[in-house]
Amino acid sequence: MSSSDEHTPVLLNEVLSGLKPETCGRAIDATFGRGGHSRALLAALPASARLLVIDRDPAAVAVAQKLAESDSRVVVAAGEFSRLREFAADADLLPVDAILMDTGVSSPQIDEPERGFSFRFDAPLDMRMDTTQGMTAAQWLNTAEAGEMAKAFRELGDERFSGRIAAAIVAARPLQTTGQLVDVINAAQPKPDPHKHSATRVFQACRMVVNNEVSELAQGLQAAYDSLAPGGRLAVISFHSGDDRQVKRAFRALCRAAESPRRLPVRNAPPAPAKLIGRAVKAGDAETRANPRARSAVLRILERVA
């Protein structure tokens, strides 16, 4: 495996403990990345089980196909995880016993300068998960109105100076590289955050816009739940507060009993269709020391009841 394919899966023991792959016949890794979680799932899954792996990054799909060549239990699907149920049906894998979703950017994506995800390199402003289609970050930044950008920076990146940065981007257009964007952000921020790189929040927001991540996550969570067998579990790892809030709210909604008349006695209320398994889990000190990127990871697990 090349260095560009290396990936340290976060919260691995917690994922395996929560999904219990040793009891599963059908499982899905909806965000294959470079396969760290998938390989661990395969090691625990029974010999008769099948694992569907999904990714929209062509580089990740290539790694997944190599894994499929070495393990006949693996089925590969190229595309967004919002199409999870479609892919599972095509592979004759419905209903599913265990599903994993990891909403973060994989380490190779961050570490490959040409992808444009990181402010550590001066590279083209791309940021697309699927490099074969869609709008690049440069195209969005060079065409969006200031108000649209400010809203995205504020809501998706929690950027305090969203308006100032958006106005500065408009004034500096056209932007083509990550280095140019970093320079604009630095100049527009009157008070940099001492705990984070000044570009962190804007880069996060740009990536989420370019990849339509909010809508993708909402559709993916519903598709995953709809694909679960009774007793099946969905584990989701989030890496920033916005994603985690979205997962938390979606899980709560899925756990609510079907609506019933306000005066209906509680004992007659229909059972909740899903339940939470434990509380949100974060990486421990040992893992964060070994893998600093695990610091912000949060794992939530849902089980379908009916």
**Is residue 120 in some structural domain?**
no
Residues 102 and 223 in one domain: yes
pLDDT tens, 120-164? Answer: 889 999 999 999 999 999 999 999 999 999 999 999 999 999 999
Q: Range of 168's domain?
A: 130-210
Token code pair at residue 74: 């693996």
pLDDT tens, 258-276? Answer: 444 455 555 555 667 999 9
Model confidence, pTM: 0.89
Count helices and strands in the chain by DSSP H and E runs: 13, 8
Residues 78 and 104 in one domain: yes
At residue 193, the pLDDT reads 73
Residues 193 and 225 in one domain: no
Residues 6+ away with beta carbon under 8 Å from 78: 54, 55, 56, 58, 61
Tell me, what amino acid is at 273?
A: P
**Is residue 125 in some structural domain?**
no
Per-residue pLDDT band for 3 (boundaries 50, 70, 90) equals very low
pLDDT tens, 9-56? Answer: 999 999 999 999 999 999 999 999 999 999 999 999 999 999 999 999
DSSP H helical ranges for 112-194: 137-143, 146-157, 162-172, 178-188
User: Which of 210, 244, 267 delimits the end of a domain?
Assistant: 210
At residue 270, the pLDDT reads 62
User: Which of 156, 186, 210 delimits the end of a domain?
Assistant: 210
272 DSSP 8-state letter: P
Residues 42 and 88 in one domain: yes
**Closest alpha carbon to 294 in 28, 102, 80:** 102
User: Which of 153, 187, 210 delimits the end of a domain?
Assistant: 210
Q: Where do we find the tokens 């500065």?
A: 168
Please tell me the total count of domains within the chain.
2
